[in-house]
Amino acid sequence: MADSTAAALRLAPVGRDTLQSRIVAQLQERLITGKFRPGEKLTLRALAKSLGTSLMPVRDALQHLHSIGALDVQPNRTVIVPIMNAGEILELSDIRCALEAIAAERLAKSIDSAGIHLLWEKYARMESLREHYGQAPYLHAHWDLHMTIARFSQANMLITMLKAVWLRIGPIVRPSPGQYHDVERSLHDHHAIVEAIVSHDAEAARRAVISDIREFFAAIVPLYQANAGE
């Protein structure tokens, strides 16, 4: 038993890249679902403890997320979740509209029966979580539907850009219950998106995606008008 344990420990470094990838994925999940808030400081020790790992892979993961614009580093080297003003939020909204409209149009033109089934499955997941609106489970299902559309549009460069945008937006879009954008409106908008795509109506899919994004951000932006830079 002692020999096998020692052997397992000796093999541990081989999995470092995989470990770092898992840590990056977990931190991305926390950003996208709003578990990290704008301005929150992310310390190596606290994150390593919560993730159950050592400092080095967490440091590497934070450096990666900073390199793609998901996190900010202050002059004193403190890592924080970005704080954005209304203008920056509107810019990200415009970028999301442009990228996701392309994805929706492409998918509407090419979706097959398996894709149709999957999209309705993703929407049903959102529907089943209506009581968790504004909480991580619903926000993850919401993100999953949008990213499924992007993935199945077969636009790899678009997916990379869109994921970076979502990492910036995630911390600001976790509302309190009943705030910003009610669950019925959210479900209505996403049903319209899926319905247009599965009907192979590219123009309707483009309009539905843009309408969903515009309505949501129109409600959020006024809350950030007082932030620095406005």
- pLDDT single digits (tens) 78-132: 999 999 888 899 999 999 999 999 999 999 999 999 999 999 999 999 999 999 8
Q: In terms of domains, do 105 and 201 share one? A: yes
Q: Under a CB-based contact definition with an 8 Å cutoff, are residues 68 and 159 in contact?
A: no
Q: In terms of domains, do 139 and 211 share one? A: yes
Q: Which domain holds residue 65?
A: 13-80
CATH number of the domain residue 60 falls in? 1.10.10.10
Q: In terms of domains, do 93 and 160 share one? A: yes
Positive or negative, the CA dihedral 34, 35, 38, 42 is: negative
Q: In terms of domains, do 124 and 206 share one? A: yes
Q: Is residue 97 domain-resident?
A: yes
β-partners of residue 79 are 73
Contacts of 112 (CB under 8 A, 6+ apart): none
Q: In terms of domains, do 95 and 162 share one? A: yes
The single-letter code of the amino acid at 110 is S
Boundary-marking domain end, from 49, 80, 111: 80
Pairing of strands 79-80, 72-73: antiparallel
Q: Is residue 107 domain-resident?
A: yes
CA-wise closest residue to 138 among 81, 187, 179: 187
Task: Give yes or no for residue 6 having a pLDDT over 80.
Answer: no
Residue burial 123-133, b: 16+ Cβ < 10 Å; e: rest: bebbeebeebb
159-199 pLDDT, tens digit each? 989 999 999 988 887 654 445 458 899 999 999 999 999 99
pTM recorded for the entire structure: 0.82
Q: In terms of domains, do 126 and 213 share one? A: yes
Q: In terms of domains, do 102 and 209 share one? A: yes
The tokens for 64 are 């990666």
Number of domains in the chain: 2
41-51 pLDDT, tens digit each? 999 999 999 98
Q: Is residue 218 domain-resident?
A: yes
Please name the residue that has the structure tokens 């910036």: 168
Separation of alpha carbons 145 and 120, rounded Å: 9
Q: In terms of domains, do 140 and 210 share one? A: yes
Q: In terms of domains, do 102 and 153 share one? A: yes
Q: In terms of domains, do 60 and 98 share one? A: no
Separation of alpha carbons 19 and 28, rounded Å: 14
Separation of alpha carbons 176 and 181, rounded Å: 10
DSSP 8-state symbol, 175 = P
The pLDDT-based confidence of 221 (bands split at 50, 70, 90) is confident
CATH number of the domain residue 204 falls in? 1.20.120.530
Q: Is residue 7 domain-resident?
A: no
Q: Is residue 57 domain-resident?
A: yes
Q: In terms of domains, do 111 and 210 share one? A: yes
Q: Could you tell me where the DSSP H helices lie in the chain?
A: 2-11, 16-32, 44-51, 55-67, 86-110, 113-128, 136-152, 156-169, 183-198, 202-220
